[in-house]
Structure 1
Amino acid sequence: MLREGEVRIPSGCAVSAILNVKGRCINGEAITQSIACMRERSNGLGGGFAAYGIYPEFKDHYAFHLLCETEQGRLDAEELLRQNFLIDRSEPIPTRKVIGIENPPAVWRYFARVRPEKAVGCSSTAEGNLVTSVVMKINKHCDRAYVASSGKNMGVFKGVGFPEDIAAFYRLEEYEGYLWTAHGRFPTNTPGWWGGAHPLGLLDWSVVHNGEISSYGANKRYLEMFRYRLELQTDTEVVAYLFDLLHRRHDLPLELVCRVLAAPFWKDIDRMPEPQRRLYTALRQVYGSALLNGPFSIIVAHGKGLIGLNDRIKLRPLVYARKGDFVLMGSEESALRRIFGEPDEVRAVWGGEPVIVELEGGSAQ
């Protein structure tokens, strides 16, 4: 299988998202129709979906989705999981044969709880660090086994193929979630492979991305200082880990996390009132290595909501819409209208200005 970096393909991608702010669940058909509407933006080298609220019977378990190219890799990954977690269920993820999906790896899921002896006196941050550490070890040390997602009551379903074919492969019409994101890939610099497809996930974070993070090298070195290991060799990986680092571990509000990643220009900071100028100067001084450069539009999902973010001068498209209790984001307005027709509100997401939407009440019903 070709790996990331072995060829160069110039490009663009498609992203889409649906959130019901009241936490009401819908099946995977709507998001599939939305991303399929933008088929011309992808080339069959990657597609994927993230879904939240899909495992209510295991809502307090970490749901590990694994992509395993070898059986030994899966067994090694399972052993790492068992050393740190109690596994209450493990099974292949249900799939069907689909024309266009060739040579898929084994796709497996584990529903697990942290072992009691490791959970004693363990804060939520420390527990998250444990999960992160195990994910990094699996990705680095287990022979061609990779963690697609590791959050609670959510999962990432991705692979090599057009996104609508990936949806059929994973039988997403059988799942119901209150939040869905989707990605159609047209790799920028690299070939498609299952581990490098989007969404990129860690804990309950998942990221879909159109564009190119030209600061990947600097961002990667910065994250490695905090023991993140980037093994999937796709620039989107840094975005997922930066959100985890800055919000979960450093406790920055999501608004400020976005202002770190797509920071105001210095000329704009200089014109701010004194309190703001001091804040944004400090953020750029402390978190300069977390700044994302390059053209990008990003949709970040987590258990409590959705974030849309463009690069500072908006070199990639991203549209926001609202229809009743549903919030929609995507690369093209047509993909949003494909779901619910005429929206109540529709507008562009401006460069460097995040759109942050949270569930009413802070959690799904």
Structure 2
Amino acid sequence: MERTGKSLQLSRRQLLQVGAGAAAFAVTAGKSALAQSSSPTELLVTGGGGDFGVKLQKAYYDGFQAASGIKIVPQPYKGLAELKAMVEAKAWGQADVLLTSAGEAAMAEKLGLSEPLDYSLVKKDDLMKGSFGKNYFLTDVASSVLAWNTDAVKPGSEPKNWVDFFNPSNRAPRALFKNWNQTFEIALLGAGVPIDKLYPLDADLALKTLTAIRDTIRWYEGGAQSQQMLGGGEVDMGMLWVNRADGLVTDGKPVKYLNTNTVLDGDAIVIPAGHPNKDKAMKFAAYMATPEPQARLTNLTPLGPTNVKAVPLIEPDKLAKTATAPAFAATNRFQDFAWLADNGDKLTEMFNKWLLG
């Protein structure tokens, strides 16, 4: 999964302050691409780039073009603030469809920034419970895994769970995502909170747990940075997104990871509210919900499908690496996306204040 460190970092108050400057930027940026966005044979889709972008192309974009005649034109990742500016300015030339984090998708729905999806085209009954809302659904399932560098952490002393990871007596440097979203959940697991009792999040306890290891934390703001930290030996262990951790293993780096007792999220599809291309965008959304392309993505990277009918189409050794594989599924849980959207303001302010303290 491809994210930026800005995911869910802006409170609703901050979003309302994006203002005319951001809107003007959106209009300016959108003018050059407006004709392209209006083309009946193209769709502008924002999402992850780099290696993950190549995998999205192979799993989804090429197949959709072959089936529909509509070409997907990838665009740089856009977060919640950019979506808000785009919708308010009607700067449609920036994107027809967004692939964003599930938490941001839930916030976009709550703020009225996204279109309701047509579930007559998407078979909701085929999607995993907890993987969709009125205005979004997850196209894949990612997990935040506990990973460690085997050169730094010798056999027998490796962390066996999040409680070990957050043990303050261990002064080893460790990597964490510089965002309360996901990090608070992991910290609460480190404090011994059962995974089925995570919500509502106890932010005070999460911050207390983080405070106990504060001087050992090395923050990252993106997946590539987390890989560099762990694979390069800057940290002994870290919370990494599963595809990033597995990528290190595949590349022969001295890394191992656990895919159990963790929270699940994923890339979610969002259509900007009021978009004139929403009908065409909905066709693409419906395609992304089908089993065949979801299975192709899992065969390329260890992100599980949300369509349960994709499972038989996935190579067994590839499925075994996902957090939704039979060996791991019962130990993990989805984030409560609606709760995150409802409480993002307060938690953002608490985390930012703690960072400054």
TM-score tier by shorter-chain length is under 0.3
Higher strand share: 1
Higher helix share: 2
Superposition TM-score, scaled by structure 2 size: 0.27
Superposition TM-score, scaled by structure 1 size: 0.26
